[in-house]
Structure 1
Amino acid sequence: MFFFSFFFFFCSRLIHMEPDNDTHISEFLLLGFSVEHGLQPFIFGVFLSMYLITMLGNLLIILVIIMHSHLHTPMYFFLSNLSFVDICFVSTTVPKMLVNIQTQSKVISYTGCITQMYFFILYVGLDSFLLMVMAYDRFVAICHPLHYSVIMNSRLCGLLVLASWILGVLHSSLHSLMVLQLTFCTDLEIPHFFCELNQIIHLACSDTFLNDIVMYLAAVLLGGGCLTGILYSYSKIVSSIRAISSAQGKYKAFSTCSSHLSVVSLFYCTSLGVYLSSAATHNSHSSATASVMYTVVTPMLNPFIYSLRNKDIKRALKDLGGGKTEEGQ
């Protein structure tokens, strides 16, 4: 009940609130990528292709998991949720960018910008939480195989996903409500292709010390906490794998978490690389270009990683492509 009350409070606050400044701003300008006008159609085609591939790839993963009963396990339940979040994640930023390129406009409304920022933070957080939950699932499967079905029951799996959503909504709502309290002046140009939290805070005329503290503290506690949980799970997994006597057993145990480890490495390496490079260069346009890696490329590659490195998914895709159904096998 608290979760829904908080969410609806934020929505009502966003709908009814006017930006608290003397200029009564109604819109921001998304500068996007600093490329020549002649390259805009090429940029549009590239991002449209990446968006469609991301949508189709993740939808296919969800469809395959739903249609094949042997994939109705905790690992694939979490994977289907991750694919759904990736679809929402990429849909938060790319469509608006494509519309702006097509219409030769850089405008995004104040409400639209805050809403986009809210959902972007939400889905980034959900990605982190779900990757940590999936690491815990692999930890139980490898370190406690005899008790796996008892520990990872459907109730716990549902609670873990629900907890991820609740934490994601609370985290995103906190940042968004704090941004709504800021005062903005006349410099409303965001040197990015979406409304990124840090860029919006830096446009404010009012004091942003508290916003900066909360932003970095949340990044350390939530992002660092999720990464710590993942690393701890894999430290235990590695110890368990090393204790296995046969080489075949070690390979089988490692193969069950290789896809997840690849996705984790891709997500954290690209996101950390973006923010470390932007902090070092202080170049907003370079940061926008680098952000494409974890905002667009990572969600696009996740289905390929799981389909190419996972035997169950590959088998299910072949069955789906061959027109076989669960009953016809």
Structure 2
Amino acid sequence: MNSFTYTRAEAVEAAVREKSASGKVKFIAGGTNLLDLMKENVERPTRLIDINRLPLTKIEAAPDGGLRLGALATNADTAWNAEVEKRYPLLSQAILAGASPQLRNMATNGGNLFQRTRCYYFYDLATPCNKREPGSGCSAIGGYNRILGILGTSESCIATHPSDMCVALAALAATVRVTGKNGERVVKFEDFHRLPGDTPQFDNTLQPDEIVTAIDLPAEDFSRHFSYLKLRDRTSYAFALISVAAALQLEGNTIKEGRLALGGVAHKPWRDTTAEALLKGQPATEETFRRVAAKVVEGAKGYGHNTFKIELAKRAIMRALKQATEGMPVADAFQNSNP
């Protein structure tokens, strides 16, 4: 680990000011991902700004009738919050499917948005990686890529975003509140994370001086028919091969509104609004779900070891939608295939 200076910010404005200073500056709260990256010398900040004293821990009603999640509220506090459990159980289930109780007690909502990929080559300093060293190449494309992306990939990068929480936030159409030198702005969740393109070193659209202050959940009701399905190699403390957040509003057996987002498949939580449109007004049947699943993976591309994910994604989508229809919010499933 390299040497760095450490300061504490007492106010959001001060944090923004300090972040704008020269050098490689990083905010730190729970540190559950950043410290690992620093130990591996993947991240080498020259300055850490501790933001744990900022007043961003509340979970409270939003002005539009939704719910506002403070950026520094922990994942555990969010998952077990009474309003989250009652009104946004999909989010609660997704959070509880991730990491371990100890990590959820430390990890913050804002920090969850900034998790970096778990691609083997990103962590291995002895191998080329465009995310770590732009222009060096992507070792994963021709290497062992079983856990990596099949949607929205590029010739520069096939890394995946690892968060469970973010998959649910994408399906719920959350928004992210950020503050920078030019004041506050609101970012649609679908616009917060980036696809790799030819600049995979950038994970999101945040400006260098900005800080996330809150995540807003809209007032829409998806509290009855939802499911978070996570397929992984072991049932505890493992990242998703495929995860699906599904949420439906039903009138009888007809789908009034449907939401769908995937994890483990792309550089960002993958929400396909074109596929979602195929749900609206349709019967909640296997045939409808099959059409939607086929649409989601229409442009998918496998890279050898991970090609099995295309079929796995289709089956996971159908299963998650069926579970959502039946009101069976199963949050986990054991996936022991090793193609």
Length-normalised TM-score, structure 2: 0.30
* Larger proportion of strand: 2
**Could you say which structure has the larger radius of gyration?**
1
Identify the structure with bigger relative contact order (alpha carbons < 8 Å, sequence gap 6+): 1
More helix by share: 1
